[in-house]
Amino acid sequence: MDTTPRASPRAAASNAAHILIVDDSLDELRALKSLLDAHAFRLSIAFDGHQGYQRAQLLQPDLILMDVRMPRLNGFATCRLLQECPSTRAIPVIFLTAASTPDERLSGLTIGGVDYINKPFNAEEVLARVRIHLRLAAQNRQHAQAHTDTPTPSENTNTISNDSGEILLQACIRLIRSRLSEELTVTGIASELGSYEKKLSSLFREKTGMTVYAFLREERLKTARIWLGETSTSVREIAEQLGFQNAGNFATAFKSRFGVTPSSYRESVLSMRDACPEI
């Protein structure tokens, strides 16, 4: 007679990995739920990005399967917010999408997604990718716990600020800093974050005392100052890389902010280094 202790079904379920599926397609949800249920994962469902974002904060799943194109808040915008929230930024997000262009894949991976699964999906591929990223996430948690005494986000949720305004602000700042060369508009930025212009503008004034445009301009000029001092990139190229219309427009803005032209600033930095080589 086999007397080996066996875990009860309830205990086994409680130890199973918890996956949050975020998709506005009922057919896709049913198919994914049926597939993952058959392999004993614990599942939660959200029908759009906004609901997914809220449930991720509340439930702290081990992994999120996220559709890209959804109403209210799309997958990319949701992922941006999850990345800025201390209690959810470590949760791996796998995007589900019918569009698989290189640009879209790169965008998703750049903002924090760990992988892509194309629709219509292959069941074995879904299972393989889910298991791979659950394993990697577990290894990352073990590594982090072995090298620090700081509690993981899920252990320390009560002491971490999950203020929605602050999260939106930080997501906006990260987006701006990653795309300084582009022609950004407040409406466009707000749309990419699942928000709207008036709300984002009000939030920026309240939290930073600046408009979104003023912050964008300041970031461009601060970055330009670093590049002038640390690289040999020409003034014209720096202007182009940081979204200024031309070198003249850049020089005017730089002098207005720092009191010297870009060329004069670079010369002063070089002169200082010649005088003090250790700098």
CA angle 233, 215, 222 (to 5 degrees): 30
Instruction: Please report whether residue 131 resides in a domain.
Output: yes
Instruction: Please report whether residue 169 resides in a domain.
Output: yes
Q: Domain span at residue 137?
A: 9-155
pLDDT bin (cut points 50, 70, 90) of residue 109 is: confident
One domain for residues 168 and 106: no
CA distance 95 to 82: 13
One domain for residues 22 and 85: yes
Look at residue 125 and tell me whether its pLDDT is greater than 70.
Answer: yes
One domain for residues 190 and 224: yes
- Choosing from 139, 155, 171, the residue where a domain stops is 155
Look at residue 46 and tell me whether its pLDDT is greater than 80.
Answer: yes
One domain for residues 254 and 172: yes
In the prediction, which pLDDT does 279 show? 52
Instruction: Please report whether residue 1 resides in a domain.
Output: no
Look at residue 2 and tell me whether its pLDDT is greater than 60.
Answer: no
Task: Please give the average per-residue pLDDT across 43-62, as a whole number.
Answer: 93
One domain for residues 146 and 206: no
Which of 24, 18, 27 is CA-nearest to residue 52? 24
- pLDDT over 90 percentage in the chain: 62
CA distance 256 to 268: 17
pLDDT bin (cut points 50, 70, 90) of residue 237 is: very high
Range from 5-9, 68-72, 200-204, 223-227 carrying the lowest mean pLDDT: 5-9
In the prediction, which pLDDT does 127 show? 95
pLDDT bin (cut points 50, 70, 90) of residue 277 is: low
Task: Please give the average per-residue pLDDT across 150-177, as a whole number.
Answer: 70
In the prediction, which pLDDT does 130 show? 95
Task: List, in sequence order, every residue forming a beta bridge with 261; answer none if it has no partner.
Answer: none
In the prediction, which pLDDT does 106 show? 81
Instruction: Please report whether residue 74 resides in a domain.
Output: yes
pLDDT bin (cut points 50, 70, 90) of residue 98 is: confident
Which amino acid does the sequence have at 219? Answer: E
Task: Please give the average per-residue pLDDT across 107-135, as a whole number.
Answer: 91
In the prediction, which pLDDT does 14 show? 53
In the prediction, which pLDDT does 275 show? 67
One domain for residues 188 and 147: no
One domain for residues 275 and 214: yes
Instruction: Please report whether residue 4 resides in a domain.
Output: no
User: What are the strands of the beta sheet with 93-97, ordered from one edge?
Assistant: 42-46, 18-22, 63-67, 93-97, 115-118
CATH of residue 247: 1.10.10.60
How many domains are contained in the chain?
A: 2
* pLDDT tens digits, one per residue of 238-272: 999 999 989 999 999 999 999 999 999 999 988 88
CATH of residue 38: 3.40.50.2300
One domain for residues 19 and 65: yes
- Helix 262-275 to helix 212-230 angle (10° resolution) is 40
One domain for residues 208 and 261: yes
Please indicate whether residue 273 or residue 267 has the higher confidence score (pLDDT).
267
* pLDDT tens digits, one per residue of 56-94: 999 999 999 999 989 888 999 999 999 999 889 999 999
Kindly give the residue spans of alpha helices, DSSP state H, lying in 88-232.
Answer: 102-110, 123-147, 164-178, 186-192, 197-208, 212-230
- Choosing from 130, 155, 180, the residue where a domain stops is 155
In the prediction, which pLDDT does 134 show? 94
Instruction: Please report whether residue 2 resides in a domain.
Output: no
If you average pLDDT over every residue of the chain, what do you get? 85
- Choosing from 104, 129, 155, the residue where a domain stops is 155
One domain for residues 139 and 259: no
One domain for residues 75 and 136: yes
Look at residue 158 and tell me whether its pLDDT is greater than 60.
Answer: no
CA distance 97 to 118: 5
Instruction: Please report whether residue 68 resides in a domain.
Output: yes
Look at residue 232 and tell me whether its pLDDT is greater than 70.
Answer: yes
One domain for residues 39 and 58: yes
In the prediction, which pLDDT does 59 show? 92
Instruction: Please report whether residue 174 resides in a domain.
Output: yes
